[in-house]
Amino acid sequence: MKLLETKDQLLEWEEYRAYLKLNLKRITREQGFFVSKDPLEFQINGKPWRGYAVLAGPKSDQCVRKLKQDGIRFQTGTCSRQGREIKIGAGDLKDKHLREAEKTFLKLRLGYKLLREGEEPTAPAE
């Protein structure tokens, strides 16, 4: 899959969602996890949503470099994947950016849960 190289490509919700969904599956070791420093205006099914972009996976470093040229800045952390859980290492990510990343993951309906480093998954209800 091609890189997300411009702000317009990133803001194209379905393209962004497909890109992230594929790249999350490709996480095989600790890799970069990026959250935009500022919120962006997305259009989802014709409705506006103001949220923070999240990039992760093997091509995320390249995307971040390209998007930086388009004026989008990112906070940086690390992540690893264990099944359907993405474990986030702190890096320079602030709690606010981790909370916003969780909102974006929910909005994208990716089926992955974000866990902070040291946080244990919740046991399924019986």
Each residue of 2-56: pLDDT tens digit? 889 999 999 999 999 999 999 999 999 999 999 999 999 999 988 999 999 999 9
d(CA 63, CA 50): 20
- pLDDT for 126: 47
Please, what sign has the CA dihedral across residues 88, 100, 25, 61? Answer: negative
d(CA 63, CA 54): 11
* Relative orientation angle of helices 13-25 and 95-108, to the nearest 10 degrees: 100
- pLDDT for 42: 96
- pLDDT for 94: 86
- pLDDT for 72: 96
Q: Which residue has the higher pLDDT, 68 or 122?
A: 68
